[in-house]
Amino acid sequence: MKKLESYQQFSELRENGKYIFLFSADWCKDCRVIEPVLPEIEAKFTDYTFIHIDRDQFIDLCAELDVFGIPSFIAYNNGTELGRFVSKDRKTQEEIEAFISGLK
Among all residues, which ones are annotated catalytic? Answer: 28, 31
Q: Is the C-alpha dihedral spanning 78, 82, 86, 92 positive or negative?
A: negative
E strand or H helix that includes residue 39: helix 38-44
Count how many Cα atoms sit within 13 Å of the Cα of residue 101 in the half-sphere of its side chain. 8
Closest alpha carbon to 51 in 83, 90, 17, 19: 19
